[in-house]
Amino acid sequence: MRNLDDATVATAIREYGGRAMTYVIANVLKRAWSTDQVRRHLKGMERRGLVKRVPTVYATQICWALTDGGTALGLAGNP
């Protein structure tokens, strides 16, 4: 299995409208990685300032969006 990278995750977030729950990102990635693997990678991206948690109505689910830092690195792709 190939490694999960920042650009792949950012593309999945962007394809879903710029904000997405962890499990949705995993589903967009066609289950190539488990939801847990995707969540751990997103937390690493969060520590590096590439994604941020955004408010959601769900108590336990995390919703993610690209930050200005992620966009500045070109992770958002073409508008």
Q: Render pLDDT for 4-50 as a digit per residue (tens, 0 to 9).
A: 888 888 888 888 888 899 999 998 888 788 899 999 999 999 999 99
79 within domain boundaries:
no
**Dihedral pair phi/psi, residue 28, rounded to 5°:** -60, -35
75 part of a folded domain:
no
Please indicate, yes or no, whether the overall pTM of this predicted structure exceeds 0.85.
Answer: no
Q: Is residue 28 part of a domain?
A: yes
Look up the domain containing 46 and give its range.
Answer: 6-70
What's the pLDDT at 22? 92
Note whether 20 and 28 are within 8 A (CB). yes
Q: How many domains does the chain have?
A: 1
Q: What is the CATH number of the domain that holds 10?
A: 1.10.10.10
Is pLDDT of 77 > 80? no
